[in-house]
Structures are given as structure tokens and as C-alpha cells.
Structure 1
Amino acid sequence: MNAVPVTILTGFLGAGKTTFLNYLIKKHPNTKFAIIENEFGEINIDSELVVKTDENIFELSNGCICCSINGDLFNLLNKLVTGRYKYDHLIIETTGIADPSAVAGTFLTDYNIQTAFKLDGTICLIDAENVLEVIANEEEAAKQVLFADYIIFNKCADVDQATLNKVAETISKINPLAESEFTNYAESKKAEILSLKAYDKEKPRLQLGLGAKSAQNIFGIGQEQSFHNIVSQSFVFDQSFDLLKLRHYFTVMLAIQGAWFYRIKGIINVEGISRRLIIQSVKGAPVFTEGAAWRDDETRQTKLVFIGKELKRDILERGIKQCFYKPANL
């Protein structure tokens, strides 16, 4: 059984999530979607499409399924797996004030769920005109933007180019992990919108501002990027790491100060291990997974991105360097 890809759809209230979802369904007529929403009724479904209901699961005449959580997400996922429902892709639409990392954590930390589902990425819909003001004043909205793997700036027709440029530059600095595009009516032009592979273990995407054709620094690795109290800190290390020290550092740090970190993502070079170690932070805890093997002809570098509130670079760097591998005779 192949794991079903999962897309988390988040975004500000009124940003166009419903419009985008309907656009996806129309653009992919041969894909049978299972759609989970926090509260049934937020997504407008034509009552004429509903052909069968089973408690909180609605089967539609176009072959898609729409579900309401109204309780435990795990139980609903189990029901989708054990039922006779046929679907190719799962979309989870969160409320306008939800933290998407809590939803993502279900798919990154539970082995049983990982056998049936594979998290592909988080898409965030935001109003291009108001995004900078909103994330500066609303923490939950900031979390959505900063956790996103792909950002759709919507409703751009009435926004001048100078503002759009400022928005793109600011967001790319504080969330260097995400790709983005400008749209109207949420009509994304990205062909692989349902195949972001943001959590692919073999080819983890960690941009860190590096161009595809060169290692030239685009947004400034090693430089603090900030917007109001939101800070992005990126690090690159050539030294290898001690796995036990590293696990201890991240576990303790997030247990004590997890509320200050919106997202951590990285590829780590661990001494004595031939494969990359991938780290993600989910719900205030580190999640480590094994990635692709290091090639003999490549430099084994560690790349880490921390995104959060008022993150101090010197404190982070000092803590990370304490996890460097040191031979026993030193």
C-alpha cells in the first residue's frame, strides 16, 4: 500500500482558502481528494453534490470525500483508512487561527499514520495587501506563514508592484524555507503544487538562500534576518556533530523555550553516520529522521534554520557548537 500524500492548507481568515480548494479540485479532475476541515460548513459544498453521508464523512458525486474533524484527527484518519473510501490525495484545511504545526505533527511523529499517509507540504494563503501588518500583530497568523512550505500571496490585482516587492522580500527573509507566488483568485500556476515533497527524506529541500547554479549567498547566510520581533537565523557548519549531544540539546532547548520557536529545519552531518540526519521541530519537540546517504564526492555540511521570536544568534550558535563531535583523546 502506497502512502497517500497529504497537503495542509492554512491561511488567514478571508485569504481565499475556499477559492483555492475549489480551484484545485477543478484543475485536477482525475484526482480523487479526501478533504478534512476543522468544522464542516467552512468550505462551501453544493448540497446537490452530496450523494452519501456517514456521520462526519460526506461522499460527493465528483468522487471526492469531505470530512469534518469535530474531535480527534487520528480517529478520523483511521476511519478513512479502514473504510471503503477511495482517494488519491488528502487535503486538511485548517481554520484561520489554527497552528499548522500541530496538524503536521500527527504525520511526522506517529508511525502508524506514516504507513498510510505521507506529509507532502503546507500551503499558506495570505492576503498580499495586509500580510505584513497581520503577521506583525497576530502571532497565530505569523506561525502559519513561517511554517509554510509554499506561500500563495492572493488578491494581488489591487496592490502596487512596490508593495508586492516589499512583501516578497520580507517574507523570503524570515521564512527562507518557503517558495511563493503572487495570484489573483488563488489560481496557482505551480504545476507541482500537490507534489512539493517538502518532507522528502531522500531529497530534503533546504534552500538557505543558495542559488541552484552556484553557492552564492542570496539572502545572507550567517546574517540575522528579522521583521518586528520575528527572527530567522541560518547556520552552516563544516564540523561533524555528536548525535547524543545534539539530541539532548534540541530536546532540552525546545522543552524549555519551545514557545519562542516557530520552526526549525535542518540537514545535519553526524560523525560516524553515512546518511544525513534531518531535523524538524513539531509542537515544541524535535523530530529526527534519516535522510539520503552522503556521496563520496560532496562536502558534508550541516545547514540549520531557526525561525521564531527574538531569537538571539550568539546564544544559538554557542549552544550548537557545544554539540560538535570531539574525539575521545582530546
Structure 2
Amino acid sequence: MTRRPIGYYVHHHGAGHRARAGAIAAVSDWPITLLGTGVGEAGIDLPDDRPLSGRFDGVDGSEGRPAALHYAPIDHDGVRLRVARVAQWIATERPALMVVDVSVEMAMLARLASVPTICVRLNGERNDVPHLEAFRGAVALLAPFHVDLERESTPTWVRERTRYLPGITTAVAGGVPPSGRILVVIGRGGAPSNGARLAEAARACPNVQWRVIGPVSPVDDCPANLDIAGWVEDAAHAIAAADVVIGGAGDGLVGAVMAADRPFICIPEARPFGEQQATASGMARLGAAVVLENWPKAAAWPSLLARAKALPSPPRQRLHDPRGAQMAAIWLGEQAAAA
């Protein structure tokens, strides 16, 4: 019997959505088709729906937008073509299920096109009308984080409809020779990191080698123990080999750090709905990371690195499931079969 495909909508902000989709698709025995801007030959590449300004925070700022939507700009060719492309794919392929990671509007579109949906539910304060209505219209919700990181304010009915699936990652889990380096990870979803500030941190720890991966502003006087590597292909390997990892609280980085069980200093970045702050506060509460509100003064780094190394492994190990991607693939297959 031919299985109707699972559609997996991939949001284009940051790298975490694409990485999560890829990790699940790689181990699924159910056919999964990715749909999103920038997926290229890996699936259905959709027209870009971002504003002409290039700035995108998930809210269009227009007046008169229906309360059940976040982003519905008027007279945007990319949005029109995007909606038409997804609707055409649904009509042609008749998917058994649509996973939406993440978009209130795509979840509503799939539901209007008579497809059962699974909404990926990220952490943070998502009790606004658009999120709750999308959650209500879905057959189930997938949270790519441990239940212990859940916010107390999340409604009971949302929790009851949620399958918590931490560990959806292809990150390296062990067996990597230690590098002895401090690794600073800058994600794709935010602004470049301050190069001068990184140089000051490295100078405060002269006997330790620092490496920075991701976008960084220029460093005029780079100390010898600081390596500005830019984008790298082996980020997961670098994380697994690090003495201490420093970075934000995006799902991708947190998942990789927990998988590798590395000491973590987390400085959450501003994101819509307080997503990173929610995850960071949960890790702090559980003792899985040293969490800071802001980048510290250079003189604080030696003691902060020592604090991170002193944290025990069990809280980090608790937040990771080494079979996270496989469990997600099995569960989505079950949902598709039942649809």
C-alpha cells in the first residue's frame, strides 16, 4: 500500500527548524516532504514571504489583521505565491498529515485545505489568540523540549495535547576528542556578535584558547588565543569537543549541548514570545547551565567558566533523549496512519 506523504513546513528564520525537520526525515520510514523557503532540492522551495525591508519578527504590523493571525501582509506577491504553491501541493499529493514548524498561518491553511495538522510548539509565552487557535485546530502538538522546561503559564489543555520530544538533533553525542577550547556559538537567527567584546573575554583568560563560530563583527586587535572561525560545517563536532560552550538558548544549540553533555554558559537572546528566556530559565532552575541575562564584564569570565565546569552532568543528561529524532518520526508516522 502506497503511503500518502507527510508534509513538513519549515520556517526560514534561524537554522533550528530546518535542522529539526532534517533530523526527523532522515530516520522516518514514512515519506516526508519538506516545504519552505530555502529548502532547495530537499523538498518544495517556497517563494519568500518576508517584508521588502528584510526585517522579520513574525508580525506584519498591519492594521485590521484578524485576531487569529500573526503575519498576513496586504498585497505581498511572495505571500500569494507561497499560499498557492502549498495549496497546489496539498491538492496534488493529498498528504496524510502536515507538520507545521512554525507558522500560525500555515497551520490554518492546511486545516482549511482539509489536512490534519501537527503544530510544533516552541517554548515561551504563546498564550495569545493566534497560537491558541492554531493549537486548537491541530490534531496534536509537538514540543521539541523536555517537559521539565515547560512554563507554568501554559494552559492545561495545551499541555495535555502536547507530545514532548527532546533530543531531535543529529548532534554528536560522544566519542569526540576534547579540544580544550572555549567555544562561542553565534546562531543564524540574530545579529552578529560583538567582536571587540569577545576579544576582551579571551584576553581575560590568556591560558585558554577561544574559538567563535557564526557571524562576528570585525576585531581590530585579535588576541592570539582567539580564533574567529565564521560559519563552519562541523558545528556539532566542535560543540562535542568543547571544554565549555557559550551561546544562546535556541533549540538547536541547546539540543546539541545537551546531546554532547558539555558545560554550558547560556546568554539567551531576545526572541518573539520570550522563547529563549523560557528555555534558559528552565535550565537554570534545573542546574543544567549557568544562565546570564547579559554578556558579562571581561573580568568575570574565569569564575564563570569554573562555575560551568562545576555543574554536574545528570541535569543536562535528563534534558536529552538520544532517540529523540527516532521517537518523533515514529510518533508522526502513527499520527499519519491514524488520520
Both proteins in one fold, TM over 0.5? no
Higher strand share: 1
Instruction: Give TM-score scaled by structure 1 length.
Output: 0.34
Higher helix proportion (structure 1 or 2): 2
